[in-house]
Structure 1
């Protein structure tokens, strides 16, 4: 059996209880070494075989899984955050289907949630934005043309941009071609929830400069939108003038 497990954004205590228990009982762990906090490996048994997938190809990962499964061992494939975002799990699952190896998937706390916590922010503020766009810049890995940054920025919604901290000049220029202005609030969140977490707030027009000034060029999310500002509308859910299924209006 192969268990895909989301490791959470970084802090060892932000892995789920289920994920932690799977690590404790695993015979083999294959972890995304470029992003997963290695402190999580302290949950593994001493006799657990541990592989760093940052140094492996897909074929090598599958070879380890196939050999471990044939030996009756339990395998954990440990991905950063939640593996449904930029985790490259579909290709692994399809290959396991072809090999007739069973698997399941345990979700984790995504780094975009960790970043919101780091800025003490709410992505979906009433009257500001009710939509969150999670995306990335095109780089060595392309994105569909219809999903280019400028096209998505036209909505003016909250944006959380992964895997783009090394391209801040181009990202800034693309965002400013959309609905945002140079004064739109932005933030760089480096290693959300790790001990070395760093949050840099700035106007969008100074995003690239802020990245250079603080030495942030990788392992960071870019947050953009007016949810980072101070103005918003009160939620109807707790408004005394608003009736719900559970409460009558009192004013």
Structure 2
């Protein structure tokens, strides 16, 4: 496995975004929320943030994060174990855990409207136990780069939403670091309302926005990736 795996095909990304739906309960209000990621109204370039490599490039981050001797020669089993455990640990919380490409990355999508209140970058206290489980997984499987993406809906000005999306991504990154995840592994990016067209189809066949969310992309690193980074 080489750095070429960081550039997945659009077809693979679309396959990632399945069509099943489910409702979960907001741990704070008891309100039902949309969970799964049946995506409609996808415009050109919508999946760009998934198709590219790690934020800021892979090479420097691999070296800076100190990933080395413990990285596995083959991604396979650790990847399968981590995605299985993440799904089990976050079951019922509204978190979606998905495979990106062919073991290229794991996408952990924190639920719309549950992680944050409208206009806020403060993580809802009722969601912290779920984030603790994610942090424990990232510590248990240290050979990966972690990208945290923030998104908003279109309420407010574009400039305000851009700043809010960055603050949401930063809040999640800071919390993971506070729980013991190496900060050098984590990068953040806010997309503002750029992906406001991202929608989920409900059981009533109604498209609802999936916008006030944060996504965590976990990109596994192998010994081959480490060697390639050191050679550059």
Same fold (TM over 0.5): no
* Alignment TM-score, normalising by the size of structure 1: 0.29
- Structure scoring higher RCO (CA < 8 A, sep ≥ 6) equals 2
